Chain A
Amino acid sequence: KQEVTQIPAALSVPEGENLVLNCSFTDSAIYNLQWFRQDPGKGLTSLLLIQSSQREQTSGRLNASLDKSSGRSTLYIAASQPGDSATYLCAVISWGSQGNLIFGKGTKLSVKP
């Protein structure tokens, strides 16, 4: 059974810092991995999608990497801003169960001005 873990559960950093959020999964047979952002009281916004054949994806100040063999993904945020404050969720779809996107519990990020 696929399990997704995110560390740390919460993170507070001063504005301008570069930071890394971690995601690990127990079954390396994944179809893809996706990082989402959730603002309080809102739905989820997709940030980056990494297919199983890819090693990383970049969008602006965000870079996500994927290492299937070790069951890990990282989300790197460069030059953090207060507007980056949100909960970041990692989710995987496993081969054979494409209907079931398994989520981690998220990392709550606070960027202080």
Chain B
Amino acid sequence: GAGVSQSPSNKVTEKGKDVELRCDPISGHTALYWYRQSLGQGLEFLIYFQGNSAPDKSGLPSDRFSAERTGGSVSTLTIQRTQQEDSAVYLCASTNRNTIYFGEGSWLTVV
């Protein structure tokens, strides 16, 4: 596609439920990032995928968070047993090793 596509754009879920957020990067981009942005806060790095290398998971806040990238393209971020503090915008980005392109984000609200 023309840009980074994320779905769902908005998600309201009950505390304790699992959620999956999807990211379709720009075709041909080998690197993919997930970031989290809480209300009024800066961007928090979560995870980075580069080609077939092992992902850099150093930013994942707890073992309730996981991500995978199938076939070097689409990525899914999974949050298990969601908590209210997980409410945030989850931003995906991809790059061709230079300019980084962000999606519009998935707005997650845990009630």
A interface list, Cβ under 8 A from B: 32, 34, 36, 42-46, 49, 89, 91, 97-106
**Is B102 a contact partner of A49 (Cβ separation < 8 A)?**
no
Q: How far is the CB of B28 from chain A (nearest CB, A)?
A: 17
Determine the chain A residues whose CB is within 8 A of the CB of B70 once the complex forms.
none
Among B31, B98, B102, which residue has its beta carbon within 8 angstroms of that of A45? Answer: B102
Quick one: given A99-B33, A99-B50, are A43 and B104 in contact (CB under 8 Å)? yes
Chain B neighbourhood of A32, CB < 8 A = 98
Q: A34-B99, A100-B58, A100-B59 are in contact. Are A89 and B43 (CB under 8 A)?
A: yes
Shortest distance in angstroms between A78's beta carbon and chain B's nearest beta carbon? Answer: 22
Does the CB pair A99–B91 fall under 8 Å?
Answer: no
Chain B interface residue bracket vs A: 20 to 34
Contact residues in A for B31 (Cβ distance below 8 Å): 99
Given A43-B91, A44-B91, verify A101-B100 contact (CB < 8 Å): yes
What 5 A-B pairs are tightest by C-beta distance, nearest first?
A99-B48, A105-B42, A44-B102, A99-B56, A43-B102
Taking CB atoms and an 8 Å cut-off, the chain B residues in 67-105 that contact chain A are 91, 93, 98-105
Task: State in angstroms the CA–CA spacing of A49 and B33 once bound together.
Answer: 17
A44 to B99 Cα, complex, angstroms: 12
Docked complex Cα distance between A45 and B105 (Å): 12
Question: Measured between C-beta atoms, what is the minimum distance from A1 to chain B in Å?
Answer: 11
Contact A46 B99 (CB under 8 A): yes
Interface majority SS (helix, strand, loop, mixed), chain B: strand
The distance in angstroms between the C-alpha atoms of A41 and B66, with both chains bound, is 25
What are 13 of the A-B contact pairs (CB < 8 Å)?
A: A43-B103, A43-B105, A44-B93, A46-B102, A49-B98, A89-B42, A97-B56, A98-B50, A99-B33, A100-B45, A100-B58, A100-B59, A106-B42
CA distance A100 to B48 in the complex (A): 7
B62 within 8 A of A: no
Cα A105 to Cα B99 with chains together (Å)? 20
Known contacts A43-B91, A46-B99, A101 near B33 by CB under 8 Å: yes
State the CA gap A91–B50 with chains docked (Å).
Answer: 19
B45 & A101 in contact (Cβ 8 Å cutoff): yes
